[in-house]
Structure 1
Amino acid sequence: MSKPALHPPPPEPVLARWWAPFAEFLEKERRYSVYTLRNYRQAFDDFYRWLNATGLWERGFDQLSTRELRDFVIEAQSRFDRRTLHNHVSGLRAFFKFWLRRGGVKRNPFVGVPLPKLEKRLPKFLTETQMKLLLNGPQRLLENQSLDAFTSWRDRLVMELLYGGGLRVSELTALNYGQIDFTSGVARVLGKGKKERLCPLGRVAMAVLEKWKREFAKDTGHDLPVLVNGKQERLPVRQVQLLLKRYLALADLPLDLTPHKLRHSYATHLLNAGADLRLVQELLGHVNLNTTQVYTHVSVARLRDVYAKAHPRA
């Protein structure tokens, strides 16, 4: 968690000169999510405050030394946890890389700046039993008349696509009918960095999608959203997050689980069932295999737990 900043944020001329072109590049060319943009903006604002407070802003970006940026990293550890600090520095490296290419700076001063080691944290995920309980939530509410049919089937489709297709929540809300091949049950998704991948959605998710399209969708044009609210407007990410909490509470599951944890569950369950790691990497759209390998640690941890409970010599 960050502490409140004591120094003023960047003024509008600074934002217009340095932040706005970078943000436009991230949003329109790299197609980064609003959350990544928000996090990178927080990193830029914090860095500006530090430069301003230390008197380094007036010298300019090209005059920053590795030693000074090491001081920045050390000082930032009093305001941010290690993971947030890593994310911030990643954003600042991308910022300088962008301006280096545009000729705005002569070098990227964050290259080679050491960061504190991250503690290894295994991703949270739901068991298959917990997933079934969660996915049954909308039907339970429909049956006891606590929810109308439109909302019930829409909410179920949200969770079936997150879990059945391993989609990121931003990919889910951006999904249009033209991206789905209803014959093969595969969606063509545009993920991080404008990288396109094919996502099999699964038999159950496709069955729910077919019913949704047939009975509840008013317009299924090529460029129209699959998931909409009662006004037939594209479902925002925030509403997906809120509806998930509703069904987590109904299933008596931890409320801090996010839509991304359904993607974690998707990957973990595939590997537990024997799926090839490279295949899972492709399905998730990970550039680096190391990103996918964290799920093998989850699987191994689960195997150890089962062994410890079941084996007489454990």
Structure 2
Amino acid sequence: MSKAVSSPEPEPALPPAAAAEWLLPFLDFLAKERRYSAYTVRNYRQAVEDFAAWLKQSGRAPDAFAMLGARDVRDFVIEAQRRFGRRTLHNHVSGLRTFYRYWMREGRLKKNPFTGVPLPKLEKPLPKFLTESQMLKLLAGPDTLRAQEQIGEFTALRDRLVLEVIYGGGLRVSEAVGLNYGAVDFGTGSARVLGKGRKERICPLGDTAMALIRKFRDTHARRPGPTDPVLVSERHGRMSPVEVQKLVKKYLALADLPMDITPHKLRHSYATHLLNAGADLRSVQELLGHASLTTTQIYTHTSVARLKEIHAKAHPRA
């Protein structure tokens, strides 16, 4: 029987020497100085490697970063539109712009050809969220399963705590699972949260979430020390984002709610409910930890859409 011949491994877009010279110092800068997440560093790496592959395919040296002008970059963007969606393309160009800025700062490059490059406009879909009544159904899930004796007291209380901390504080999943007891101020009912770019902010968690944190700490937490996690797994280790995602899916199914709702969309729900109740945009921006007010403004469209719906139903001239 003849032995199958394995296909040769594809050559990397950047040869090892070029990667060590251009790519690795940049990634090190992102991770250690800018403190970007591993996810962002990975995406920026992919952006540089894809650009290097395009340089190679177009007959240039894969590390010919210093020899490009605005026209070359426009050619790259036109070709990349055939392979990427608009948001992915924007993210790649953002990564490459940062790459060039870094090497300009280091004195190796003199210009950034990605500055001002025209890109296709991004579609701005409204964020998906749960209504207040839907949110109540979701939050009731752990108690429902406990009453049916499908889960124990620990799981019911822990699951309620997860949902209430994310919704009550508008936290990202990474912020929720990273929350330690030492960051919770039981006097003010708030928590110090480490957000994107390792920026710290104070988040009110709400009376319900705070009561659950106290109860869980006093009845089930094995190690409620300052550096111990608030949200723990069945084995009392720190919960992972994947565990939180699975938990949310379980209770969405139980409440017969849309299964495309993610933990991050509970944060969308939090922001939308605040604005619907009359909170001002600047306050919501601070609560969410958004660097730009523009990022927060997308929630106003959702609130306006709801107001128009109410107007259409209630006004005689609508």
Instruction: From the superposition, tell whether residues 234 and 52 of structure 1 become closer, same or farther in structure 2 (CA, over 3 Å).
Output: farther
| 8 Å CA contact 2:131, 2:269 repeated in 1 | yes
> Could you tell me how far 1:98 is from its partner in structure 2?
2.5
> Could you tell me how far 1:211 is from its partner in structure 2?
1.2
Larger radius of gyration: 2
**Is 2:231 the partner of 1:194?**
no
CA distance in structure 2 between the aligned counterparts of 1:72 and 1:33, rounded to whole angstroms: 27
Instruction: Trace 1:235-250 onto structure 2 (pairs within 5 A).
Output: 235-250=239-254
Instruction: From the superposition, tell whether residues 114 and 49 of structure 1 become closer, same or farther in structure 2 (CA, over 3 Å).
Output: same
**Is 2:136 the partner of 1:169?**
no
> Could you tell me how far 1:80 is from its partner in structure 2?
1.4
**Is 2:115 the partner of 1:117?**
no
Structure 1 unaligned segments of length 5 or more: list them.
Answer: 1-5
Instruction: Trace 1:1-314 onto structure 2 (pairs within 5 A).
Output: 8-58=12-62, 60-314=64-318
Comparing 287-296 and 47-56, the one that deviates more = 47-56
User: What amino acid maps onto 2:227 in structure 1?
Assistant: D
> Could you tell me how far 1:151 is from its partner in structure 2?
2.4
Structure 1 length-normalised TM: 0.91
Identity %: 62
The one-character-per-residue Cα deviations of 1:242-297 (angstroms, maximum 9, x if unpaired) are 22111111111222211111111111111110011111111111111111111111
> Could you tell me how far 1:201 is from its partner in structure 2?
0.5
Instruction: From the superposition, tell whether residues 109 and 185 of structure 1 become closer, same or farther in structure 2 (CA, over 3 Å).
Output: same
| 8 Å CA contact 2:14, 2:63 repeated in 1 | no
Comparing 42-51 and 154-163, the one that deviates more = 42-51
The one-character-per-residue Cα deviations of 1:55-106 (angstroms, maximum 9, x if unpaired) are 3334621111111111111111111111221122122222222232233433
CA distance in structure 2 between the aligned counterparts of 1:75 and 1:266, rounded to whole angstroms: 40
| 8 Å CA contact 1:122, 1:297 repeated in 2 | yes
Q: For residue 3 of structure 1, what is the aligned residue in structure 2?
A: none
Query: How many equivalent pairs are there?
Result: 309
Structure 2 length-normalised TM: 0.90
| 8 Å CA contact 2:13, 2:56 repeated in 1 | no
Instruction: From the superposition, tell whether residues 115 and 209 of structure 1 become closer, same or farther in structure 2 (CA, over 3 Å).
Output: same
